[in-house]
Structure formats: structure tokens, C-alpha cells
A = this chain, B = another copy of it.
Amino acid sequence: MKIIIAGAGAMGSRFGLMLHQAKNDVILIDGWQEHIDTIKEYGLQANFNGEEVTEMIPIYHQSDISSVEFSADLVILFTKAMQLDGMMQSIKNMVGEKTKVLCLLNGIGHEDVIKKYVPLSNILLGNTMWTAGLEGPGKAKLFGNGSIDLQNLGNEGKESADEVIAVLNDAKLNAKYSDNILSSIYKKACVNGTMNGLCTILDSNMADFGETDVADVIVESIVSEFAQVAEKENATLDIDAVLAQIKSCYNRETIGLHHPSMYQDLMINNRLTEIDFINGAIVRKGEVYGIETPYCSFLTQLVHAKEQIMKAK
């Protein structure tokens, strides 16, 4: 299968590598020049469950693909949320009538961007439990196991995804069809929509926040806004299960002493955050559905204020 990995960071590198190992015709597209140059020269290198591997995979800079001829059967989207629209614009000439587009970004509402370029019947919305890291440009660290749930957004249902699922499974990526992908996506978004913004604004790890006597009321207020919006989108959220998953982040013995990814982005690396695609998406959808979302609004505004005060880029 001819596959574009659009966004070849840590996760894109994992998917590109595993699909290339399984003999697919893969190209990578990214925007980080040093990463691209390293992969062009040395191939994509990875510590893959303890073994050093190298795959020679073509890689292109996103701004330099107008002359590339590649009619993709499948595009797997792994950009940062704020780069999604630009990426879709860049690759639109490689996306034909039959190209399936699988979106595995964190956050919610990405389908609203993608459907400007691709009919709903070709969009697969997914949620993955795979993890990945980058040790430096061109060098990934890929440990452990994972899975993918995905769903077609059009009316054609499971059949339209069969071929993509087969290709993913042939590459040992453990994909399966879901009839309820939005519920998984909203559940994950609730964890990100609380831990990410709150730990960033409070300059805190998850355990220290979770042990304050206001953690419950803040988290419940935010999750309630997510749940009201999710309900309008026919995504059922089991609020008790969501709250239990959030509380599991406070555990000092496991991940409680860690800072979530948004904290890393802004407070460590001085980068703009994805808040507009997590809490900010709930605000936009709340406006459409007539749902009040003051906690998500205020948290989104505070994170933007913090980005600007820190002059993040």
C-alpha cells in the first residue's frame, strides 16, 4: 500500500518504520529540517525494543513536495494539532478520490479540519495506545506494545476500513474497528483537558495538583463540560470511569511525579501548546450546541496568556 506519514515525529516514525518493515511503499513528510536531513543521509534509525534498526524511507519537507508524485492509498496524520490544516494543504495533491485519511492526533474536532479536504467517507478517526519517543533528529526510541481503534466517519462503516486495518495489522500495529471511537477520543481528551492545562498553569506535577483539596471540584467542573459536549455528539462518556482514570494520574508510585506533555511543551521547551484543540475545542463546540463552558474557556485563555508572557513559539 502507498502510505504517507504526515508528521514524522516520534509516533510518525514508529508507524512509518513498522509499515515500511512490512513492505509497504511509505514516504515521510515533516517540517523539521535537521530531522529530515538526518533521515535522508542515514535512514530512519531506531532503538526498536532494544534492537538498533535502520530503515531507508524517503522523507520530504512539507514545503517542498509540490513536485513529488505519489498517489497515496492511505495518509496517516501525526502532526501537532495546530499544524494539521497546513499539512492537509501541503499534501492535497497526493490525496485522491480513494485515498483514506487516518487521523491519530490527540485532541478533538480534527475531523472539522480534515473534511475541508477529504469526504467523510474517506476519513478514519482513530485513537492509539502506542507510545514513542525521539532521542534526537532521525533517531527514535520505540518500546512496548500498543493498539489502534478506528472508525469511519461516513455512512459506509466497517467495510470501508477493512483494507487499512489489514495493512496496519500486517505491520503488527494491532488495529481494530470501533463503533464508538468518539467515546475513546473524548475520554482521552478529558485526561488531557485537565492534567495538561492545570499542571501547566499551576507549574505542578500531577500528584502535587491531585493532592490539593480543590482538585476534585476543578476536575469535575471541566469533565462536566466535556461530557455535555460529548453527549451532543452522541459520544457516551462514563464520567466515573473518566474521573477514575484522571485520579490514577496522581499516583506517586506510577506517573504522579511526571509533568504532562503540555507542561513539557510550554514550561520546558517554550513551545506553543495544543490547548485550542483540547479545552478550546470544547469551547467552540459548546458555542455551537449552546452549552456553557466557562472552565474550559478560562483555562484556554490562561494557557494562551502564559504562552504570550513566556514568549513561546
Contact = CB atoms under 8 A, between A and B. Distances in A.
Interface range for A: 20 to 34
Interface string A276-313: 00000000000000001011011101101110110000
How many identical subunits does the complex contain? 2
Interface of chain A, main secondary structure: helix
Contact of A305 (B209, B221, B301, B309): B209
Contacts of A295: 294, 298
Contact of A221 (B204, B217, B221, B298): B298
A311 to B, nearest CB: 10
Contacts of A268: none
A208 B201 CA distance: 16
A217 B302 CA distance: 11
A309 B204 contact: yes
Interface in A194-232: 198, 201-204, 208-209, 211-215, 217-218, 221
Interface of A: 198, 201-204, 208-209, 211-215, 217-218, 221, 292, 294-295, 297-299, 301-302, 304-306, 308-309
